[in-house]
A and B are shown apart, each in its own frame.
Chain A
Protein backbone atom coordinates (compact mmCIF):
# COMPACT_ATOMS: atom_id res chain seq x y z
CA UNK A 1 0.00 0.00 0.00
CA UNK A 2 1.17 3.52 -0.68
CA UNK A 3 2.52 5.22 2.40
CA UNK A 4 0.30 8.28 1.97
CA UNK A 5 -2.70 5.95 2.05
CA UNK A 6 -1.46 4.33 5.26
CA UNK A 7 -1.04 7.75 6.80
CA UNK A 8 -4.52 8.80 5.65
CA UNK A 9 -6.14 5.67 7.08
CA UNK A 10 -4.21 5.94 10.35
CA UNK A 11 -5.11 9.60 10.72
CA UNK A 12 -8.74 9.04 9.81
CA UNK A 13 -9.17 6.15 12.24
CA UNK A 14 -7.49 8.10 15.06
CA UNK A 15 -9.76 11.05 14.39
CA UNK A 16 -12.89 8.90 14.34
CA UNK A 17 -11.94 7.36 17.69
CA UNK A 18 -11.54 10.84 19.18
CA UNK A 19 -14.70 12.23 17.57
CA UNK A 20 -16.93 9.37 18.79
CA UNK A 21 -17.11 10.21 22.51
CA UNK A 22 -16.93 13.96 21.88
CA UNK A 23 -19.67 13.73 19.26
CA UNK A 24 -22.03 11.98 21.66
CA UNK A 25 -21.66 14.80 24.17
CA UNK A 26 -22.20 17.36 21.43
CA UNK A 27 -25.41 15.58 20.46
CA UNK A 28 -26.59 15.22 24.07
CA UNK A 29 -25.75 18.78 25.01
CA UNK A 30 -27.09 20.20 21.73
CA UNK A 31 -23.83 21.88 20.92
CA UNK A 32 -23.61 21.08 17.21
CA UNK A 33 -23.86 24.72 16.25
CA UNK A 34 -21.24 25.61 18.83
CA UNK A 35 -18.84 23.14 17.24
CA UNK A 36 -19.63 24.51 13.81
CA UNK A 37 -18.82 28.03 15.01
CA UNK A 38 -15.43 26.97 16.36
CA UNK A 39 -14.64 25.27 13.06
CA UNK A 40 -15.50 28.39 11.09
CA UNK A 41 -13.30 30.45 13.37
CA UNK A 42 -10.41 28.11 12.58
CA UNK A 43 -10.13 29.55 9.08
CA UNK A 44 -9.20 32.84 10.68
CA UNK A 45 -6.46 30.88 12.42
CA UNK A 46 -5.09 29.81 9.04
CA UNK A 47 -4.80 33.44 7.99
CA UNK A 48 -3.28 34.44 11.32
CA UNK A 49 -0.75 31.63 11.05
CA UNK A 50 0.31 32.58 7.53
CA UNK A 51 0.43 36.33 8.26
CA UNK A 52 2.58 35.95 11.35
CA UNK A 53 4.66 33.13 9.94
CA UNK A 54 3.69 30.57 12.58
CA UNK A 55 2.54 27.00 11.97
CA UNK A 56 -0.95 27.03 10.49
CA UNK A 57 -2.03 24.06 12.65
CA UNK A 58 -0.99 25.97 15.74
CA UNK A 59 -2.84 29.05 14.47
CA UNK A 60 -6.04 27.02 14.00
CA UNK A 61 -5.93 25.37 17.42
CA UNK A 62 -5.25 28.66 19.20
CA UNK A 63 -8.03 30.46 17.32
CA UNK A 64 -10.48 27.67 18.18
CA UNK A 65 -9.50 27.83 21.85
CA UNK A 66 -9.85 31.63 21.88
CA UNK A 67 -13.28 31.44 20.24
CA UNK A 68 -14.42 28.81 22.75
CA UNK A 69 -13.20 30.89 25.67
CA UNK A 70 -14.89 33.99 24.27
CA UNK A 71 -18.18 32.11 23.92
CA UNK A 72 -17.89 30.49 27.34
CA UNK A 73 -17.33 33.82 29.04
CA UNK A 74 -19.75 35.84 26.94
CA UNK A 75 -22.60 33.34 27.12
CA UNK A 76 -24.23 34.63 30.27
CA UNK A 77 -24.06 38.36 29.64
CA UNK A 78 -25.81 38.21 26.30
CA UNK A 79 -29.33 39.47 25.71
CA UNK A 80 -29.32 37.69 22.36
CA UNK A 81 -30.18 34.05 21.73
CA UNK A 82 -27.20 31.72 21.67
CA UNK A 83 -27.94 30.69 18.06
CA UNK A 84 -27.72 34.36 17.04
CA UNK A 85 -24.43 34.87 18.86
CA UNK A 86 -22.97 31.67 17.41
CA UNK A 87 -24.20 32.46 13.89
CA UNK A 88 -22.68 35.91 13.98
CA UNK A 89 -19.35 34.67 15.26
CA UNK A 90 -19.23 31.71 12.86
CA UNK A 91 -19.79 33.65 9.70
CA UNK A 92 -17.95 36.82 10.55
CA UNK A 93 -14.83 34.86 11.52
CA UNK A 94 -15.11 32.79 8.33
CA UNK A 95 -15.49 35.97 6.27
CA UNK A 96 -12.63 37.64 8.12
CA UNK A 97 -10.48 34.57 7.50
CA UNK A 98 -11.22 34.61 3.78
CA UNK A 99 -10.49 38.34 3.50
CA UNK A 100 -7.28 38.00 5.49
CA UNK A 101 -6.15 35.08 3.32
CA UNK A 102 -6.57 37.26 0.22
CA UNK A 103 -3.98 39.60 1.67
CA UNK A 104 -1.38 36.95 2.36
CA UNK A 105 1.33 37.73 -0.14
CA UNK A 106 3.31 35.23 -2.09
CA UNK A 107 1.72 32.08 -0.63
CA UNK A 108 -0.57 29.99 -2.74
CA UNK A 109 -3.25 28.98 -0.23
CA UNK A 110 -5.44 26.04 -1.16
CA UNK A 111 -8.61 27.27 0.51
CA UNK A 112 -10.52 24.18 -0.59
CA UNK A 113 -8.16 22.04 1.50
CA UNK A 114 -9.16 23.99 4.60
CA UNK A 115 -12.88 24.06 3.82
CA UNK A 116 -13.24 20.37 2.94
CA UNK A 117 -10.10 18.80 4.34
CA UNK A 118 -7.22 17.00 2.68
CA UNK A 119 -6.81 13.65 4.38
CA UNK A 120 -4.51 12.30 1.67
CA UNK A 121 -1.98 15.05 2.39
CA UNK A 122 -1.54 14.08 6.05
CA UNK A 123 2.10 14.01 7.10
CA UNK A 124 3.85 12.47 10.07
CA UNK A 125 3.66 15.67 12.12
CA UNK A 126 -0.12 15.72 11.63
CA UNK A 127 -0.30 12.13 12.84
CA UNK A 128 1.68 12.96 15.96
CA UNK A 129 -0.58 15.93 16.62
CA UNK A 130 -3.63 13.73 16.17
CA UNK A 131 -2.30 10.97 18.37
CA UNK A 132 -1.01 13.17 21.20
CA UNK A 133 -3.57 15.98 21.07
CA UNK A 134 -6.52 13.70 20.42
CA UNK A 135 -5.29 11.19 22.98
CA UNK A 136 -4.96 13.92 25.60
CA UNK A 137 -8.45 15.21 24.82
CA UNK A 138 -10.04 11.76 25.11
CA UNK A 139 -8.12 11.02 28.31
CA UNK A 140 -9.43 14.25 29.82
CA UNK A 141 -12.96 13.42 28.66
CA UNK A 142 -12.84 9.95 30.21
CA UNK A 143 -11.51 11.46 33.42
CA UNK A 144 -14.43 13.92 33.65
CA UNK A 145 -16.98 11.53 32.17
CA UNK A 146 -19.18 10.92 35.18
CA UNK A 147 -19.51 14.55 36.36
CA UNK A 148 -19.96 15.79 32.79
CA UNK A 149 -22.71 13.25 32.22
CA UNK A 150 -24.36 14.27 35.51
CA UNK A 151 -24.19 17.88 34.36
CA UNK A 152 -25.83 16.90 31.08
CA UNK A 153 -28.65 15.00 32.78
CA UNK A 154 -29.34 17.61 35.46
CA UNK A 155 -27.12 20.60 36.23
CA UNK A 156 -28.97 21.04 39.52
CA UNK A 157 -28.43 17.50 40.79
CA UNK A 158 -24.81 17.75 39.70
CA UNK A 159 -24.27 21.06 41.50
CA UNK A 160 -25.97 19.93 44.74
CA UNK A 161 -23.88 16.76 44.76
CA UNK A 162 -20.57 18.53 44.46
CA UNK A 163 -19.83 18.81 40.74
CA UNK A 164 -18.02 22.02 39.81
CA UNK A 165 -20.56 22.86 37.15
CA UNK A 166 -19.21 26.11 35.69
CA UNK A 167 -15.62 24.90 35.59
CA UNK A 168 -16.67 21.68 33.87
CA UNK A 169 -18.64 23.54 31.18
CA UNK A 170 -15.65 25.67 30.26
CA UNK A 171 -13.22 22.75 30.27
CA UNK A 172 -15.49 20.76 27.97
CA UNK A 173 -15.75 23.69 25.55
CA UNK A 174 -11.97 24.03 25.47
CA UNK A 175 -11.49 20.30 24.85
CA UNK A 176 -13.98 20.50 22.00
CA UNK A 177 -12.04 23.42 20.55
CA UNK A 178 -8.84 21.38 20.73
CA UNK A 179 -10.44 18.42 18.93
CA UNK A 180 -11.91 20.63 16.23
CA UNK A 181 -8.66 22.51 15.75
CA UNK A 182 -6.85 19.20 15.23
CA UNK A 183 -9.54 17.67 13.02
CA UNK A 184 -9.85 20.39 10.41
CA UNK A 185 -6.83 19.18 8.48
CA UNK A 186 -8.70 15.95 7.75
CA UNK A 187 -12.32 16.86 7.08
CA UNK A 188 -12.17 20.64 6.87
CA UNK A 189 -13.99 23.60 8.37
CA UNK A 190 -17.33 22.86 6.73
CA UNK A 191 -17.47 19.11 7.38
CA UNK A 192 -16.04 18.55 10.86
CA UNK A 193 -19.40 18.90 12.61
CA UNK A 194 -20.76 16.09 10.44
CA UNK A 195 -17.99 13.74 11.56
CA UNK A 196 -18.84 14.61 15.17
CA UNK A 197 -22.62 14.27 15.09
CA UNK A 198 -23.53 11.78 12.36
CA UNK A 199 -21.78 8.69 13.83
CA UNK A 200 -23.19 9.61 17.26
CA UNK A 201 -26.68 9.81 15.76
CA UNK A 202 -26.23 6.38 14.13
CA UNK A 203 -25.03 4.87 17.41
CA UNK A 204 -28.13 6.12 19.23
CA UNK A 205 -30.25 3.46 17.53
CA UNK A 206 -28.26 0.63 19.11
CA UNK A 207 -27.46 2.00 22.57
CA UNK A 208 -29.04 1.59 25.97
CA UNK A 209 -26.43 3.47 27.98
CA UNK A 210 -24.37 6.61 27.35
CA UNK A 211 -21.17 4.56 27.31
CA UNK A 212 -22.49 2.19 24.64
CA UNK A 213 -23.40 5.18 22.51
CA UNK A 214 -19.94 6.74 22.83
CA UNK A 215 -18.20 3.51 21.82
CA UNK A 216 -20.74 2.96 19.04
CA UNK A 217 -20.11 6.45 17.71
CA UNK A 218 -16.36 5.78 17.57
CA UNK A 219 -16.99 2.53 15.65
CA UNK A 220 -19.42 4.16 13.22
CA UNK A 221 -16.86 6.92 12.70
CA UNK A 222 -14.10 4.41 11.91
CA UNK A 223 -16.40 2.64 9.44
CA UNK A 224 -17.26 5.95 7.77
CA UNK A 225 -13.58 6.91 7.45
CA UNK A 226 -12.64 3.55 5.91
CA UNK A 227 -15.61 3.54 3.54
CA UNK A 228 -14.97 7.16 2.58
CA UNK A 229 -11.30 6.59 1.79
CA UNK A 230 -12.19 3.48 -0.23
CA UNK A 231 -14.81 5.44 -2.14
CA UNK A 232 -12.36 8.23 -2.80
CA UNK A 233 -9.74 5.69 -3.98
CA UNK A 234 -12.05 3.93 -6.40
CA UNK A 235 -14.01 6.77 -7.96
CA UNK A 236 -11.43 9.48 -7.36
CA UNK A 237 -13.82 11.63 -5.30
CA UNK A 238 -12.62 14.21 -2.73
CA UNK A 239 -11.83 12.28 0.46
CA UNK A 240 -13.35 14.54 3.14
CA UNK A 241 -16.79 14.77 1.51
CA UNK A 242 -16.64 11.02 0.74
CA UNK A 243 -16.17 10.29 4.45
CA UNK A 244 -19.15 12.46 5.35
CA UNK A 245 -21.30 10.81 2.67
CA UNK A 246 -20.33 7.40 4.05
CA UNK A 247 -21.27 8.51 7.56
CA UNK A 248 -24.64 9.72 6.29
CA UNK A 249 -25.15 6.45 4.40
CA UNK A 250 -24.42 4.47 7.56
CA UNK A 251 -26.95 6.60 9.41
CA UNK A 252 -29.64 5.83 6.82
CA UNK A 253 -28.91 2.10 6.98
CA UNK A 254 -28.95 2.25 10.80
CA UNK A 255 -32.30 4.00 10.87
CA UNK A 256 -33.69 1.37 8.52
CA UNK A 257 -32.50 -1.64 10.53
CA UNK A 258 -33.09 -0.10 13.98
CA UNK A 259 -36.67 -1.46 14.34
CA UNK A 260 -35.48 -4.99 13.50
CA UNK A 261 -32.59 -4.63 15.93
CA UNK A 262 -34.91 -3.49 18.70
CA UNK A 263 -37.22 -6.46 18.14
CA UNK A 264 -34.32 -8.90 18.26
CA UNK A 265 -32.95 -7.25 21.41
CA UNK A 266 -36.34 -7.59 23.08
CA UNK A 267 -36.59 -11.26 22.19
CA UNK A 268 -33.12 -12.08 23.43
CA UNK A 269 -33.49 -9.85 26.49
Chain B
Protein backbone atom coordinates (compact mmCIF):
# COMPACT_ATOMS: atom_id res chain seq x y z
CA UNK B 1 0.00 0.00 0.00
CA UNK B 2 1.42 3.33 -1.00
CA UNK B 3 1.40 6.40 1.18
CA UNK B 4 -1.99 8.18 1.09
CA UNK B 5 -2.10 11.65 -0.51
CA UNK B 6 -3.79 13.05 2.57
CA UNK B 7 -4.52 11.30 5.78
CA UNK B 8 -6.43 12.68 8.74
CA UNK B 9 -6.27 10.68 11.95
CA UNK B 10 -8.68 11.11 14.83
CA UNK B 11 -9.58 14.69 13.99
CA UNK B 12 -11.75 16.55 16.45
CA UNK B 13 -13.07 20.08 16.37
CA UNK B 14 -15.92 21.91 18.05
CA UNK B 15 -17.51 25.28 17.40
CA UNK B 16 -19.02 26.93 20.47
CA UNK B 17 -18.98 23.74 22.51
CA UNK B 18 -20.68 21.67 19.82
CA UNK B 19 -18.65 18.94 18.16
CA UNK B 20 -18.35 19.41 14.41
CA UNK B 21 -15.72 16.76 13.87
CA UNK B 22 -15.82 13.91 16.33
CA UNK B 23 -12.75 11.69 16.14
CA UNK B 24 -12.75 11.47 12.34
CA UNK B 25 -10.22 9.48 10.37
CA UNK B 26 -10.08 9.53 6.59
CA UNK B 27 -7.39 8.76 4.06
CA UNK B 28 -7.32 9.48 0.34
CA UNK B 29 -5.07 7.35 -1.83
CA UNK B 30 -3.73 8.17 -5.29
CA UNK B 31 -6.25 7.77 -8.07
CA UNK B 32 -9.32 6.94 -6.00
CA UNK B 33 -12.66 8.74 -6.04
CA UNK B 34 -14.19 9.34 -2.64
CA UNK B 35 -17.61 10.88 -2.21
CA UNK B 36 -18.49 12.37 1.14
CA UNK B 37 -22.23 12.43 1.74
CA UNK B 38 -24.22 13.63 4.69
CA UNK B 39 -27.02 16.01 5.62
CA UNK B 40 -26.65 19.79 5.70
CA UNK B 41 -24.65 20.89 8.69
CA UNK B 42 -22.92 17.53 9.03
CA UNK B 43 -19.49 19.16 8.88
CA UNK B 44 -18.49 17.84 5.44
CA UNK B 45 -16.97 21.12 4.27
CA UNK B 46 -15.25 21.55 7.63
CA UNK B 47 -13.68 18.11 7.32
CA UNK B 48 -12.41 18.86 3.81
CA UNK B 49 -11.07 22.25 4.87
CA UNK B 50 -9.28 20.61 7.78
CA UNK B 51 -7.69 18.05 5.47
CA UNK B 52 -6.55 20.85 3.15
CA UNK B 53 -5.15 22.90 6.02
CA UNK B 54 -7.71 25.71 5.64
CA UNK B 55 -9.22 24.96 9.02
CA UNK B 56 -7.26 24.19 12.18
CA UNK B 57 -8.35 21.20 14.24
CA UNK B 58 -8.27 20.86 18.00
CA UNK B 59 -7.05 17.27 18.10
CA UNK B 60 -5.72 14.83 15.57
CA UNK B 61 -2.97 14.56 13.00
CA UNK B 62 -3.15 15.49 9.32
CA UNK B 63 -0.44 14.19 7.03
CA UNK B 64 -0.13 15.45 3.48
CA UNK B 65 2.21 13.83 1.02
CA UNK B 66 5.14 16.20 0.43
CA UNK B 67 4.75 18.18 -2.80
CA UNK B 68 1.08 17.27 -3.08
CA UNK B 69 -0.70 19.35 -5.71
CA UNK B 70 -4.34 19.98 -4.95
CA UNK B 71 -6.89 21.41 -7.39
CA UNK B 72 -9.63 22.95 -5.27
CA UNK B 73 -13.09 23.72 -6.58
CA UNK B 74 -15.03 25.57 -3.88
CA UNK B 75 -18.79 25.47 -3.50
CA UNK B 76 -19.19 28.78 -5.21
CA UNK B 77 -17.18 31.77 -6.25
CA UNK B 78 -17.85 35.01 -4.49
CA UNK B 79 -16.67 37.09 -7.44
CA UNK B 80 -18.18 40.48 -7.13
CA UNK B 81 -19.34 42.20 -10.28
CA UNK B 82 -17.14 45.12 -9.32
CA UNK B 83 -14.17 42.91 -10.23
CA UNK B 84 -14.04 42.49 -14.01
CA UNK B 85 -12.75 39.03 -14.88
CA UNK B 86 -12.91 37.07 -18.09
CA UNK B 87 -12.81 33.29 -18.00
CA UNK B 88 -9.55 33.52 -19.94
CA UNK B 89 -7.99 35.60 -17.16
CA UNK B 90 -9.57 33.56 -14.37
CA UNK B 91 -7.89 30.40 -15.63
CA UNK B 92 -4.58 32.11 -14.84
CA UNK B 93 -5.61 33.03 -11.33
CA UNK B 94 -2.83 31.51 -9.25
CA UNK B 95 -0.50 30.16 -11.93
CA UNK B 96 0.34 31.09 -15.43
CA UNK B 97 -0.81 28.77 -18.19
CA UNK B 98 -0.41 29.34 -21.92
CA UNK B 99 -3.47 30.34 -23.91
CA UNK B 100 -3.53 27.04 -25.80
CA UNK B 101 -3.44 25.08 -22.52
CA UNK B 102 -6.31 27.19 -21.24
CA UNK B 103 -8.34 26.60 -24.39
CA UNK B 104 -7.65 22.86 -24.10
CA UNK B 105 -8.71 22.81 -20.46
CA UNK B 106 -12.00 24.51 -21.32
CA UNK B 107 -12.53 22.04 -24.17
CA UNK B 108 -11.92 19.18 -21.79
CA UNK B 109 -14.72 20.32 -19.48
CA UNK B 110 -17.00 21.18 -22.40
CA UNK B 111 -17.02 24.93 -21.85
CA UNK B 112 -15.07 26.26 -24.86
CA UNK B 113 -17.76 28.81 -25.66
CA UNK B 114 -17.20 30.89 -22.54
CA UNK B 115 -13.49 31.70 -23.00
CA UNK B 116 -14.13 35.42 -23.35
CA UNK B 117 -17.17 35.70 -21.11
CA UNK B 118 -17.21 37.51 -17.81
CA UNK B 119 -17.20 35.11 -14.84
CA UNK B 120 -20.16 36.95 -13.35
CA UNK B 121 -22.30 36.22 -16.43
CA UNK B 122 -21.92 32.42 -16.27
CA UNK B 123 -24.64 30.01 -15.18
CA UNK B 124 -24.13 27.71 -12.19
CA UNK B 125 -23.10 24.76 -14.35
CA UNK B 126 -20.73 26.85 -16.47
CA UNK B 127 -19.09 28.29 -13.36
CA UNK B 128 -18.50 24.76 -12.02
CA UNK B 129 -16.93 23.69 -15.32
CA UNK B 130 -14.71 26.75 -15.47
CA UNK B 131 -13.56 26.24 -11.88
CA UNK B 132 -12.87 22.62 -12.74
CA UNK B 133 -10.85 23.65 -15.82
CA UNK B 134 -8.81 26.05 -13.68
CA UNK B 135 -8.10 23.33 -11.12
CA UNK B 136 -7.09 20.90 -13.90
CA UNK B 137 -4.58 23.35 -15.37
CA UNK B 138 -2.45 22.80 -12.28
CA UNK B 139 -2.20 19.07 -13.10
CA UNK B 140 -3.35 18.13 -9.60
CA UNK B 141 -2.67 14.85 -7.78
CA UNK B 142 -5.92 15.40 -5.97
CA UNK B 143 -9.03 17.18 -7.13
CA UNK B 144 -11.29 18.44 -4.34
CA UNK B 145 -14.85 19.37 -5.24
CA UNK B 146 -17.20 20.91 -2.71
CA UNK B 147 -20.78 20.23 -3.81
CA UNK B 148 -19.99 20.42 -7.53
CA UNK B 149 -23.61 19.90 -8.53
CA UNK B 150 -25.04 22.79 -6.61
CA UNK B 151 -27.18 25.00 -8.81
CA UNK B 152 -26.90 22.51 -11.69
CA UNK B 153 -30.00 20.80 -13.10
CA UNK B 154 -30.35 17.01 -13.02
CA UNK B 155 -29.17 16.44 -16.60
CA UNK B 156 -26.22 18.73 -15.94
CA UNK B 157 -25.41 16.82 -12.75
CA UNK B 158 -25.20 13.53 -14.64
CA UNK B 159 -22.92 15.23 -17.19
CA UNK B 160 -20.73 16.65 -14.48
CA UNK B 161 -20.31 13.29 -12.74
CA UNK B 162 -19.43 11.67 -16.06
CA UNK B 163 -16.90 14.44 -16.67
CA UNK B 164 -15.28 13.90 -13.28
CA UNK B 165 -14.93 10.20 -14.02
CA UNK B 166 -13.36 10.99 -17.41
CA UNK B 167 -10.90 13.36 -15.78
CA UNK B 168 -9.88 10.73 -13.25
CA UNK B 169 -9.38 8.21 -16.03
CA UNK B 170 -7.36 10.58 -18.24
CA UNK B 171 -5.27 12.33 -15.61
CA UNK B 172 -5.13 9.66 -12.94
CA UNK B 173 -5.77 12.13 -10.15
CA UNK B 174 -7.62 11.25 -6.99
CA UNK B 175 -10.98 12.94 -6.44
CA UNK B 176 -12.53 13.95 -3.13
CA UNK B 177 -16.06 15.14 -3.61
CA UNK B 178 -18.67 16.47 -1.21
CA UNK B 179 -22.34 15.95 -1.87
CA UNK B 180 -25.46 16.48 0.13
CA UNK B 181 -27.41 15.17 -2.76
CA UNK B 182 -28.36 11.58 -2.05
CA UNK B 183 -30.07 10.76 -5.28
CA UNK B 184 -27.11 10.91 -7.57
CA UNK B 185 -24.10 9.28 -6.09
CA UNK B 186 -22.00 8.20 -8.94
CA UNK B 187 -21.36 4.56 -9.57
CA UNK B 188 -17.73 5.20 -10.37
CA UNK B 189 -17.10 6.33 -6.85
CA UNK B 190 -14.65 3.93 -5.28
CA UNK B 191 -15.79 4.80 -1.83
CA UNK B 192 -18.78 6.61 -0.40
CA UNK B 193 -18.23 7.99 3.07
CA UNK B 194 -21.43 8.65 4.93
CA UNK B 195 -20.63 11.45 7.32
CA UNK B 196 -22.41 13.22 10.11
CA UNK B 197 -19.78 14.70 12.42
CA UNK B 198 -18.24 11.25 12.49
CA UNK B 199 -17.77 8.63 9.80
CA UNK B 200 -21.03 6.69 10.01
CA UNK B 201 -20.08 4.10 7.43
CA UNK B 202 -18.11 3.85 4.24
CA UNK B 203 -17.71 1.57 1.26
CA UNK B 204 -19.05 1.10 -2.25
CA UNK B 205 -22.21 3.07 -3.03
CA UNK B 206 -24.18 -0.17 -3.36
CA UNK B 207 -23.17 -1.39 0.06
CA UNK B 208 -23.32 1.89 1.91
CA UNK B 209 -26.95 2.32 1.08
CA UNK B 210 -27.74 -0.97 2.81
CA UNK B 211 -26.01 0.16 5.95
CA UNK B 212 -28.28 0.92 8.94
CA UNK B 213 -26.49 4.16 9.73
CA UNK B 214 -26.92 5.40 6.22
CA UNK B 215 -30.58 4.50 6.43
CA UNK B 216 -30.92 6.15 9.78
CA UNK B 217 -29.48 9.35 8.33
CA UNK B 218 -31.44 9.51 5.15
CA UNK B 219 -34.35 7.13 5.65
CA UNK B 220 -35.41 4.06 3.71
CA UNK B 221 -36.99 5.96 0.87
CA UNK B 222 -33.79 7.83 0.24
CA UNK B 223 -31.91 4.56 0.35
CA UNK B 224 -34.12 3.10 -2.30
CA UNK B 225 -34.17 6.21 -4.40
CA UNK B 226 -30.41 6.59 -4.48
CA UNK B 227 -29.45 6.83 -8.10
CA UNK B 228 -26.57 4.61 -8.92
CA UNK B 229 -26.47 4.63 -12.64
CA UNK B 230 -24.23 2.73 -14.96
CA UNK B 231 -22.67 0.33 -12.51
CA UNK B 232 -20.08 -2.00 -13.89
CA UNK B 233 -18.30 -3.04 -10.76
CA UNK B 234 -19.31 -6.20 -8.90
CA UNK B 235 -21.26 -6.08 -5.69
CA UNK B 236 -18.73 -7.73 -3.50
CA UNK B 237 -17.47 -4.48 -1.98
CA UNK B 238 -17.27 -4.62 1.75
CA UNK B 239 -18.69 -1.96 3.94
CA UNK B 240 -15.93 -0.71 6.11
CA UNK B 241 -17.54 -0.72 9.51
CA UNK B 242 -17.87 2.36 11.67
CA UNK B 243 -15.26 4.55 13.16
CA UNK B 244 -13.78 2.44 15.89
CA UNK B 245 -15.17 4.32 18.80
CA UNK B 246 -18.32 4.07 20.80
CA UNK B 247 -20.97 6.65 20.27
CA UNK B 248 -23.91 4.88 21.75
CA UNK B 249 -25.20 2.87 18.84
CA UNK B 250 -24.41 -0.21 16.94
CA UNK B 251 -22.89 -0.28 13.49
CA UNK B 252 -23.51 -3.89 12.54
CA UNK B 253 -25.70 -4.91 9.64
CA UNK B 254 -29.35 -5.73 10.16
CA UNK B 255 -29.41 -4.29 13.59
CA UNK B 256 -32.07 -1.69 14.11
CA UNK B 257 -31.41 -0.28 17.51
CA UNK B 258 -33.53 2.45 19.04
CA UNK B 259 -31.70 5.28 17.29
CA UNK B 260 -32.28 3.79 13.89
CA UNK B 261 -35.93 3.01 14.59
CA UNK B 262 -36.61 6.57 15.61
CA UNK B 263 -35.08 7.88 12.44
CA UNK B 264 -36.55 5.79 9.71
CA UNK B 265 -39.74 7.74 9.33
CA UNK B 266 -38.07 11.07 8.93
CA UNK B 267 -37.37 10.59 5.31
CA UNK B 268 -35.23 13.24 3.73
CA UNK B 269 -35.30 15.45 6.80
CA UNK B 270 -31.55 15.53 7.13
CA UNK B 271 -31.37 18.47 9.45
CA UNK B 272 -34.04 17.19 11.76
CA UNK B 273 -32.39 13.81 11.92
CA UNK B 274 -29.11 15.38 12.83
CA UNK B 275 -30.55 17.04 15.91
CA UNK B 276 -31.84 13.76 17.30
CA UNK B 277 -28.85 11.81 16.25
CA UNK B 278 -26.49 12.96 18.89
CA UNK B 279 -29.15 14.07 21.32
Task: Please report A residues at the B interface, Cβ cutoff 8 Å.
Answer: 27-28, 146-147, 149-150, 152-154, 156-163, 204, 207-213, 269
Q: Check if B53 sits within 8 Å of A159, measured CB to CB.
A: yes
Q: Which residue of B lies closest to A165 (CB)?
A: B54
Q: Choose among B94, B138, B144 the residue that contacts A163 (Cβ–Cβ < 8 A).
A: B94
Is B161 an interface residue, CB under 8 A from the partner?
Answer: no
Give complex CA distance A44, B95 in Å.
42
Is B83 an interface residue, CB under 8 A from the partner?
Answer: yes
Chain B residues, CB < 8 A from A147: 94
Give complex CA distance A163, B138 in Å.
14
Q: Choose among A149, A152, A161 the residue that contacts B95 (Cβ–Cβ < 8 A).
A: A161
Give complex CA distance A209, B53 in Å.
30
Is B79 an interface residue, CB under 8 A from the partner?
Answer: yes
Instruction: Give the distance to chain A from B131, nearest Cβ to Cβ, in Å.
Output: 8
Chain A residues, CB < 8 A from B79: 153
Is B155 an interface residue, CB under 8 A from the partner?
Answer: no
Give complex CA distance A154, B79 in Å.
8
Is B242 an interface residue, CB under 8 A from the partner?
Answer: no
Q: Check if A156 sits within 8 Å of B94, measured CB to CB.
A: no
Instruction: Give the distance to chain B from A86, nearest Cβ to Cβ, in Å.
Output: 19
Q: Check if B83 sits within 8 Å of A153, measured CB to CB.
A: yes
Q: In the complex where A150-B93, A154-B74, A162-B94 touch, is A210 in contact with B54 (Cβ < 8 A)?
A: no
Q: Choose among B53, B77, B84, B95 the residue that contacts A210 (Cβ–Cβ < 8 A).
A: B84
Q: Choose among A157, A207, A213 the residue that contacts B72 (Cβ–Cβ < 8 A).
A: A157
Is B85 an interface residue, CB under 8 A from the partner?
Answer: yes
Interface of B is mostly: loop
Q: Choose among B54, B84, B118 the residue that contacts A156 (Cβ–Cβ < 8 A).
A: B54
Q: Check if B94 sits within 8 Å of A209, measured CB to CB.
A: no
Instruction: Give the distance to chain B from A199, nearest Cβ to Cβ, in Å.
Output: 14
Q: Which 3 A-B pairs have the closest CB atoms?
A: A160-B72, A207-B84, A161-B94
Chain B residues, CB < 8 A from A28: 80, 82-83
Is B70 an interface residue, CB under 8 A from the partner?
Answer: yes
Question: What 0/1 readout, one digit per residue, does chain B (81-100) give for beta carbons within 8 Å of chain A?
Answer: 01111100110111100000
Give the size of the chain B interface in residues (CB under 8 angstroms): 26
Chain B residues, CB < 8 A from A27: 82
Interface of A is mostly: helix
Chain B residues, CB < 8 A from A162: 94
Instruction: Give the distance to chain A from B74, nearest Cβ to Cβ, in Å.
Output: 5
Q: Choose among B70, B80, B83, B92 the residue that contacts A161 (Cβ–Cβ < 8 A).
A: B70
Q: Check if B72 sits within 8 Å of A156, measured CB to CB.
A: yes
Give complex CA distance A28, B83 in Å.
6
Chain A residues, CB < 8 A from B116: 269
Q: Check if A209 sits within 8 Å of B93, measured CB to CB.
A: no
Q: Choose among A156, A158, A209, A269 the residue that contacts B85 (Cβ–Cβ < 8 A).
A: A209
Q: In the complex where A150-B93, A161-B138, A208-B118 touch, is A156 in contact with B74 (Cβ < 8 A)?
A: yes
Q: Choose among B77, B80, B86, B93 the residue that contacts A149 (Cβ–Cβ < 8 A).
A: B93
Chain B residues, CB < 8 A from A149: 93
Chain B residues, CB < 8 A from A160: 52-54, 70, 72, 144
Q: Choose among A153, A211, A212 the residue that contacts B77 (Cβ–Cβ < 8 A).
A: A153
Q: Which of B102-160 contact A (CB under 8 A)?
A: 116, 118, 138, 144
Is B1 an interface residue, CB under 8 A from the partner?
Answer: no
Q: In the complex where A153-B77, A156-B54, A157-B74 touch, is A210 in contact with B94 (Cβ < 8 A)?
A: no
Is B78 an interface residue, CB under 8 A from the partner?
Answer: yes
Chain B residues, CB < 8 A from A210: 83-85, 89
Chain B residues, CB < 8 A from A208: 84, 86, 118
Chain B residues, CB < 8 A from A212: 84
Q: Check if B89 sits within 8 Å of A209, measured CB to CB.
A: yes
Instruction: Give the distance to chain B from A262, nearest Cβ to Cβ, in Å.
Output: 11
Known interface pairs A154-B78, A157-B93, A210-B83; 20 further A-B residue pairs with C-beta atoms within 8 A, sorted by A's residue number: A27-B82, A28-B80, A146-B92, A150-B94, A153-B90, A153-B93, A156-B72, A157-B72, A157-B94, A160-B54, A160-B72, A160-B144, A161-B70, A161-B95, A162-B94, A208-B118, A209-B84, A209-B89, A210-B84, A211-B89
Q: Which residue of B lies closest to A147 (CB)?
A: B94
Chain B residues, CB < 8 A from A204: 82, 84
Q: Which residue of B lies closest to A28 (CB)?
A: B83
Q: Which residue of B lies closest to A162 (CB)?
A: B94
Question: What 0/1 readout, one digit per residue, does chain B (43-60) give for beta carbons within 8 Å of chain A?
Answer: 000000100111000000
7 contacts between A and B (CB under 8 A): A28-B82, A156-B54, A159-B52, A160-B72, A161-B70, A161-B94, A210-B89
Give complex CA distance A79, B89 in Å.
37
Q: Which residue of A lies closest to B79 (CB)?
A: A153
Instruction: Give the distance to chain B from A150, nearest Cβ to Cβ, in Å.
Output: 5
Instruction: Give the distance to chain A from B51, nearest Cβ to Cβ, in Å.
Output: 10
Chain B residues, CB < 8 A from A161: 70, 72, 94-95, 138
Chain B residues, CB < 8 A from A157: 72, 74, 93-94
